[in-house]
């Protein structure tokens, strides 16, 4: 049973008391927004970016989860950059990388094998320069000598979406990139293997072109399930497409799902790992201010059948990108964290316990552990 909501129109008004975190001032303006009785509220709203927030990614501290970081892009033409936030939502100015030219999406992989070098990295698309930028984490040191040229410099295919894939067998790391536009001939996405040269500079070598495209809007949101070996991407206003992530596994489309119930624009995608093989695929319904939840594992007879499990309304507005983890991140997020971009120039942090509670309401026979 999918959740049904009784909508109400509410005037959301919050006030920031003296000394309250500056990031939470993003809700200080009275704003008329359509809400539902069970709309989820964030635990944290980050400091506001100077331009236009777009996409987040999580870096998980290897020994102290409370020191984990949230990366978020600002896609302003002059204010652009990859900003770094702590779990309280404050910008870390020493790690943030600015100015950059219209940053779109960002992704993180830890223990990425880049030839002879193994690092935690972030990769982000710098749209106005046709570049993929690569940074070493946690210090956000550029290791790409200014960037990796994408789509052979074709400005029509200005890079937007990116997701990293770490192949389980050998740790080889790839970037899968989508552009502002592209062909409808099954080659919309380009996949690059990332390797460091003798000087430690990361280079990208194209290993395949793949991916169906409807031609309706664009493809921006991409996510990879490393453990199960699949890549998912949002063909906006059409659905979510699924392929093998390993370039050696072929280019056959495995699934097209989420083809109904989305109000406007299939956007951000992320994988919530309950364990090694089960969990959720989380999708942003941009025009609906809500997330759609699908089973990561498919069904017992078909791993590529992803039926809608729940629709959860959230306070985040017109969300492009999102990211999620099931790892406990200190006392504030003991069962994981969902991060969502919001059009107020900030990012919202949701306690996964609240999200899971909303999912469980639709599945009374399957409670979370």
| 367, part of any domain | no
Which band of pLDDT confidence, cut at 50, 70 and 90, is reported for residue 35? Answer: low
Question: Residues with Cβ < 8 Å from 351, sequence gap 6 or more?
Answer: 43, 332, 333, 335, 337
**The predicted structure's pLDDT at residue 363:** 63
Torsions phi, psi of 7, nearest 5?
A: -75, 150
* Tens of pLDDT, residues 36-52: 668 999 999 999 999 99
CA gap 290, 107 in Å, rounded: 22
The count of domains in the chain is 1
| 270, part of any domain | yes
| 301, part of any domain | yes
| 247, part of any domain | yes
Residue 73 vs residues 59, 145, 238, 242, 312: alpha-carbon distances, Å:
14, 20, 25, 25, 24
* Tens of pLDDT, residues 173-204: 999 999 999 999 999 999 999 999 999 999 99
**The predicted structure's pLDDT at residue 12:** 35
CB 112 within 8 A of CB 171: yes
**The predicted structure's pLDDT at residue 297:** 98
Q: In 296-369, which ranges are E strands?
A: 310-313, 322-325, 337-342, 346-351
Residue 212's domain spans which residues?
7-360
Residue 277 has pLDDT above 50, yes or no: yes
| 159, part of any domain | yes
CA gap 290, 369 in Å, rounded: 24
The Cα angle at residue 223 between residues 219 and 226, in degrees rounded to 5: 150
**The predicted structure's pLDDT at residue 344:** 75
CATH number (domain holding residue 285): 2.120.10.30
CA gap 257, 281 in Å, rounded: 11
| 122, part of any domain | yes
Q: What average pLDDT does the segment 353-362 reach?
A: 93
Percentage of the chain beyond pLDDT 90 is: 83
| 97, part of any domain | yes
| 118, part of any domain | yes
Residue 4 has pLDDT above 60, yes or no: no
**The predicted structure's pLDDT at residue 78:** 82
């Amino acid at each position: 049973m999918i959740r049904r909501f009784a909508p109400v129109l509410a005037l959301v008004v919050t006030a920031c008391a003296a000394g309250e975190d500056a990031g939470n001032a993003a809700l200080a303006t009275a704003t008329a927004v359509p809400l539902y009785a069970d709309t989820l509220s964030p635990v944290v709203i980050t400091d506001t970016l100077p331009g236009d927030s777009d996409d987040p990614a999580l870096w998980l501290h290897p020994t102290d989860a409370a020191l984990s970081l949230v990366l978020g892009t600002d896609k302003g033409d002059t204010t652009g950059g990859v900003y770094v936030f702590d779990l309280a939502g404050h910008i870390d100015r020493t790690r943030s990388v600015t100015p950059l030219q219209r940053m779109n999406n960002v992704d993180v992989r830890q223990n990425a094998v880049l030839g002879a070098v193994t690092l935690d990295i972030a990769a982000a698309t710098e749209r106005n320069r046709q570049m993929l930028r690569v940074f070493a984490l946690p210090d956000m040191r550029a290791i790409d000598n200014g960037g990796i040229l994408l789509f052979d410099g074709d400005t029509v295919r200005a890079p937007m979406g990116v997701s990293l894939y770490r192949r389980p067998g050998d740790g080889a790391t790839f970037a899968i990139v989508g552009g502002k536009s592209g062909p409808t001939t099954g080659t919309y996405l380009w996949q690059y293997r990332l390797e460091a040269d003798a000087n430690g500079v990361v280079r990208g070598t194209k290993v395949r072109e793949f991916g169906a495209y409807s031609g309706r809007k664009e493809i921006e949101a991409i996510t990879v399930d490393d453990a199960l070996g699949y890549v998912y991407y949002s063909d906006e206003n059409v659905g979510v497409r699924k392929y093998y992530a390993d370039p050696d596994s072929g280019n056959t489309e495995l699934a097209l799902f989420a083809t109904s119930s989305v109000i406007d624009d299939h956007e951000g995608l992320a994988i919530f790992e309950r364990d090694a093989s089960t969990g959720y695929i989380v999708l942003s319904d941009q025009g609906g201010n809500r997330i759609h939840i699908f089973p990561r594992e498919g069904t017992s007879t078909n791993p590529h059948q992803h039926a809608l499990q729940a629709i959860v309304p959230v306070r985040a507005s017109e969300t492009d990108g999102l990211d999620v983890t099931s790892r406990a991140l200190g006392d504030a997020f003991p069962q994981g964290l969902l991060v969502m971009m919001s059009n107020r120039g900030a990012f919202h942090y949701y306690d996964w316990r609240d999200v899971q509670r909303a999912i469980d309401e639709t599945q009374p026979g399957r409670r979370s552990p």
